[in-house]
């Protein structure tokens, strides 16, 4: 039973390029969450998605950032026209379906470390 | 805005000592309080969680204590080992009812256990 799979593990982009980060949730999980983490800092919530639906994007910057979780395939976090300040570790987590009061939290992937040069 | 306040920000403990990290929350849609452990270069991993039909849950050297009236919960690491050196995050469910599973996170505690 594979965990949450994120790829690539490391991504280097030049300023102005696009970055695409992929996340395949655990089998049976239909809720996906994206977080950003800077060195020595906490987890910053970005977006919460279900299949074909954005539940909460309150943590997403208004420009250049977008996320999707299509009916088929992984969830994608897309950053357009990257800047040096986008350099960070981006973590994806997933959680199962069913009643929220019965669930047992998130499973995180190993993250994608984005470096903008 | 809903917050989870975690303290201390950093903690240094001698090998064999007890590490204690505290969290305080405001309101939650349901009672579920997890602790996550993160090693450098890795994603956070669920360490232990409590559903407060009990006030305490123990798994090996790790214990969660919960005080519902005070809206506080804490992580105790007994006989702390250098391998426990990591960042620890607490979390609580968002306050509104419904099937939304968004967690609200503390800012983390960096634990260093000296040999």
Residue-wise pLDDT for A27-48, tens only, equals 888 899 999 998 878 899 999 9
Strand order in the sheet with B19-25: B4-7, B19-25, B72-77, B62-67, B56-59
A17 burial level (CB within 10 Å; 0-12, 13-18, 19+): middle
Residue A62, CA atoms < 13 Å, CB-side half-sphere: 0
pLDDT of res. B29 = 67
Higher pLDDT, A2 or B7: B7
A94 contacts in chain B (CB < 8 Å): none
The minimum CA-CA distance between A30 and chain B, rounded to whole Å, is 11
Confidence label for B103 from pLDDT (cuts 50, 70 and 90): confident
- For residue A35, the distance in angstroms to the closest alpha carbon of chain B comes to 10
The verdict on A90 touching B (C-beta cutoff 8 Å) is: no
Using the predicted structure, report yes or no on whether residue A104 has a pLDDT greater than 80.
no
pLDDT in tens, A71-102: 999 999 999 999 999 999 999 999 886 655 55
Q: Do A100 and B105 count as a contact with CB atoms less than 8 A apart?
A: no
- Per-residue tokens: A97: 């379906």
Predicted confidence band of residue A25 (pLDDT cuts 50, 70, 90): very high
Given a cut of 80, whether residue B2 has pLDDT beyond it is no
- Residue A10, beta-bridge partner list: A113
Q: Nearest C-alpha of chain A: how many angstroms from B36?
A: 10
Query: Minimum mean pLDDT among A1-5, A69-73, A105-109, B71-75: which range?
Result: A1-5
Interface size A-B, in CB pairs within 8 Å, comes to: 61
Chain A residue whose CA is closest to B108 = A42
A55 or B2: whose pLDDT is higher?
A: A55
Note whether B21 and B112 are within 8 A (CB).
no
More confident call, A97 vs A56:
A56
Please give the pLDDT value at position A108.
95
pLDDT digits (tens, 9 = 90+) for B25-46: 987 766 788 999 999 989 999 9
Q: Is the pLDDT of residue A2 over 90?
A: no
* Nearest-CB residue to A31 (from B42, B45, B101): B101
């Amino acid at each position: 039973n594979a965990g949450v799979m994120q790829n690539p593990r490391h991504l280097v982009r030049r300023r102005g390029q696009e970055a695409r980060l992929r996340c395949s949730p655990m089998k049976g999980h239909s809720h996906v969450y994206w977080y950003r983490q800077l060195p020595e800092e906490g987890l910053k919530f970005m977006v919460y998605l279900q299949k074909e639906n954005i539940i909460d994007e309150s943590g997403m910057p208004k420009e250049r950032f977008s996320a999707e979780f299509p009916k088929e395939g992984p969830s994608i976090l897309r950053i357009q026209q990257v800047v040096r300040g986008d350099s960070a570790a981006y973590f994806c987590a997933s959680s199962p379906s069913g009643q929220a009061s019965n669930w047992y939290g998130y499973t995180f992937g190993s993250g994608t470390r984005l470096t903008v040069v | 805005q809903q917050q989870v306040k975690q303290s201390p920000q950093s903690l240094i403990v001698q090998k064999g000592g007890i590490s204690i990290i505290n969290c305080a929350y405001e309101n939650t849609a349901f009672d579920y309080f997890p602790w996550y452990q993160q090693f450098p270069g890795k994603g956070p991993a669920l360490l232990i969680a409590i559903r407060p039909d009990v006030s305490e849950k123990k798994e090996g050297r790790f214990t969660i204590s919960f005080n519902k009236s005070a809206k506080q919960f804490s992580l105790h690491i007994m006989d702390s080992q250098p391998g426990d050196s990591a960042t620890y995050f607490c979390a609580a469910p968002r306050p509104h009812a419904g099937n939304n599973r968004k967690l609200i996170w503390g800012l983390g505690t960096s634990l260093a256990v000296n040999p």
